[in-house]
């Protein structure tokens, strides 16, 4: 059964995410940080080290890759599944589906009324990633810069978040989530997308 979003989820999630109350298996005790968040995602030694190492490995691999790196697959891993469950106030983790095509790993979380899509473009090197990021910025109309996420990060006018980190471009697409009544929809979507993007970044860097 497709997990149903509680009617209050996006209405209250803006305050929840901005207050950084989420604690996950990729997150450790709350600490102060230069990042805008009050809680910094912290990876378990094994997962974080493997994910961070695979970022370096992926930067040196050929353009045509048969399989995604561990870092590219992170959006569908247990740590992020738990994050999605907590951020969206679900009773059970939604079972994601994934695809790998044209060096893009796409993880889709089916929810009642819409889907949450988190994808990672795995470029052959940092330069190619920067070019891809800038192309997406123009294509998606990224207009609002976000600080404390990766090398560069922007939100879209519809509420998604795009983050550049090394040779990876993370896209957290919340635009299909159900529309709540009496809330700033775009701000709530950006808060959800930013929270999940920060958690993926934490698993990538092991910080």
Name the residue among 80, 74, 87, 72 with its Cα closest to residue 177: 87
- Of the candidates 144, 40, 22, 35, the residue with the CA atom closest to the CA atom of residue 83: 22
State the pLDDT at residue 14: 43
Q: What are 111-128's pLDDT values in tens digits? A: 887 899 999 999 999 999
What is the tens place of the pLDDT at every residue in 150-176?
999 999 888 899 999 999 999 999 998
Q: Please say if the pLDDT value at position 18 is more than 80.
A: no
Q: What is the pLDDT of residue 58?
A: 45
What is the pTM assigned to this prediction? 0.73
Q: Most confidently modeled of 12-26, 30-44, 59-73, 191-205?
A: 191-205
Residues 35 and 174: their CA atoms lie apart, in Å, by: 22
* Residue where the block lists tokens 């893009």: 104
Q: How big is the CA angle at 158 (ends 109 and 186), to the nearest 5 degrees?
A: 90
pLDDT at residue number 133: 95
| 44: its two tokens | 């378990």
Checking DSSP bridges between strand 161-165 and strand 152-155, what pairing results, if any? antiparallel
pLDDT of 97 higher than 90: yes
Q: Where do the domains of the chain lie?
A: 9-24+38-205
Which residue has tokens 């305050």? Answer: 15
Task: Report residue 93 CA to chain centroid gap.
Answer: 16
From first CA to last CA, the distance across the chain in angstroms is 35
């Amino acid at each position: 059964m497709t997990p149903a979003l509680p009617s209050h989820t996006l209405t209250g999630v803006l305050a929840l995410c901005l207050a950084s109350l989420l604690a996950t298996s990729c997150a450790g005790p709350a600490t102060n940080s230069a990042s805008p968040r009050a809680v910094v995602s912290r990876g378990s030694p094994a997962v974080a080290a493997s994910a961070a190492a695979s970022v370096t490995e992926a930067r040196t691999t050929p353009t045509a890759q048969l399989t995604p790196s561990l870092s590219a697959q992170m959006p569908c891993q247990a740590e992020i599944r738990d994050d999605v469950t907590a951020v969206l106030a679900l009773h059970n983790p939604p079972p994601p589906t994934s695809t790998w095509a044209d060096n893009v790993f796409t993880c889709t979380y089916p929810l009642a009324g819409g889907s949450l899509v988190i994808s990672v473009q795995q470029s052959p090197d940092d330069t190619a990633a920067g070019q891809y990021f800038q192309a997406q910025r123009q294509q998606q109309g990224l207009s609002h810069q976000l600080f404390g996420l990766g090398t560069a990060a922007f939100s879209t006018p519809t509420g998604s978040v795009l983050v550049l980190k090394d040779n990876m471009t993370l896209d957290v697409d919340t635009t299909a989530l159900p529309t709540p009544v009496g809330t700033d929809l775009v701000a709530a979507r950006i808060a959800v997308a930013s929270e999940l993007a920060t958690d993926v970044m934490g698993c990538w860097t092991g910080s």
